[in-house]
Homo-oligomer: A and B are copies of this chain.
Amino acid sequence: MRLFTLLAVGLCLAGLPALAQPKSAGAPDPTLIEDLVVANRVLADLGVLDGFGHVSVRHDKDANRYLMSRSMAPALVKAGDVLEYDLESTAVDAKGQALFLERFIHGEIYKARPEVRAIVHSHSPSVIPFGVSRTRLQPIYHMSSFLGLDVPVFEIRDIAGPASDLLVRNAQIGAALAKVLGDKTVVLMRGHGSVTVGTSIPQVVFRAYYAEMNARLQSEAIKLGAVTYLSAEEAAASAKTNDALVMRPWELWKRKATKPE
On A, residues with C-beta under 8 Å from B are 50-52, 71-73, 75-76, 101, 123, 125-126, 128-135, 139-143, 145, 162-167, 190-193, 213, 216-217, 219-231, 233-234, 236-238, 240-241, 245, 248-253, 255, 259, 261
Contacts and interface: CB of A to CB of B under 8 A. Distances in A.
15 contacts: A73-B251, A75-B252, A101-B241, A126-B220, A128-B141, A128-B220, A128-B221, A129-B140, A129-B224, A132-B221, A134-B226, A162-B234, A163-B233, A165-B237, A166-B238
Q: Which of A71, A222, A253 has the most CB of B within 10 A?
A: A222
B191 A133 contact: no
Contacts of A190: 228
A229 B132 contact: yes
7 closest A-B pairs by CB: A51-B249, A163-B233, A129-B221, A73-B252, A165-B237, A133-B224, A135-B224
Given A73-B249, A123-B141, 13 more contacts: A51-B252, A101-B241, A125-B216, A129-B140, A132-B227, A132-B228, A133-B221, A133-B228, A134-B225, A141-B166, A166-B238, A191-B228, A222-B223
A124 to B, nearest CB: 11
A223 B52 CA distance: 26
A162 B259 CA distance: 43
Q: Which of A75, A141, A221 has the most CB of B within 10 A?
A: A141
Number of chain copies forming the complex: 4
B222 A224 contact: yes
A120 to B, nearest CB: 17
B219 A224 contact: yes
Contacts of A71: 248
Given A129-B140, A249-B52, A234 B75 contact: no
A224 to B, nearest CB: 4
A41 to B, nearest CB: 12
A208 B131 CA distance: 23
Given A125-B216, A141-B193, A191-B141, A224 B130 contact: yes
Nearest to A215: B220
